[in-house]
Amino acid sequence: MKTRRQNWLTRALARRPREAQRAYRAYQGWKQDPVAAAAPKKIVSRYYQLKTGHAAIGTYLKRIRAQESEACRGCQAPKESIHHLLFECRQWRRQRGTLYQALDRAGVARPTAAEDHPEGRLLGDPKATKALLQFLADTTVGCPPGDLAQAAERARKDDEWGLEALEEAEKIGDG
């Protein structure tokens, strides 16, 4: 009986359209955040990993012995934690400014120095979900090391394409 059910589930999931496989779907009875349910699966999975403490960041990777150091991959700070990545890392200054503006628009208080664990407050506040998802989309926070190389290559290609298009437009006289 169990194998039949598993086979049925495998076939049913394989029949779903490709778009449905890339997005989370709320199951009946689950109270899932609708903003997270509508976001791309790769970003939402990083969001939930940050919420549960299982994101591919220095503190977790050292704890599971996937790497020897918990140093930040972006700014080489001694400890890459959720708090560091969201509020302190020099690599994400510009994106952090955008995050704070989005939090202000959503009516969520910005983190303060007097607050003990602002990351817990933000990750637990449904009004902050959209801003945090956008921050994760704009950064590589919580990406596994293999995905970082792919993201860097994609960014390099995007930059090259933009430069080539600009040079071509200047040659033609459009720029």
Question: Is 17 contained in some domain?
Answer: no
The reported pLDDT for the residue numbered 95 is 94
Question: Is 3 contained in some domain?
Answer: no
The reported pLDDT for the residue numbered 26 is 54
The reported pLDDT for the residue numbered 144 is 82
Give the C-alpha distances (Å, rounded to integers) separating 5 from 1, 18, 27, 41. 6, 22, 18, 25
For 113-126, b where at least 16 C-beta lie within 10 A, e where not — what string?
A: eeeeebbeebbebe
For residues 120 and 83, is the Cβ–Cβ distance under 8 A?
A: no
Q: How many structural domains does the chain have?
A: 1
pTM recorded for the entire structure? 0.69
Q: Which residues contact 143 (CB under 8 A, 6 or more apart)?
A: 46, 56, 151
Question: Is 5 contained in some domain?
Answer: no
Question: Is 149 contained in some domain?
Answer: no
> Can you tell me the distance from the alpha carbon of 141 to that of 123, in angstroms, rounded to the nearest whole number?
14
Question: Is 114 contained in some domain?
Answer: yes
Full residue range of the structural domain in which residue 135 is found: 41-143
The reported pLDDT for the residue numbered 160 is 60
The segments of the chain whose pLDDT lies below 50 read 175
Question: Is 100 contained in some domain?
Answer: yes
Q: Dihedrals φ, ψ of 77, to 5°?
A: -65, 155
> Can you tell me the distance from the alpha carbon of 132 to that of 152, in angstroms, rounded to the nearest whole number?
21
Question: Is 58 contained in some domain?
Answer: yes
Question: Is 64 contained in some domain?
Answer: yes
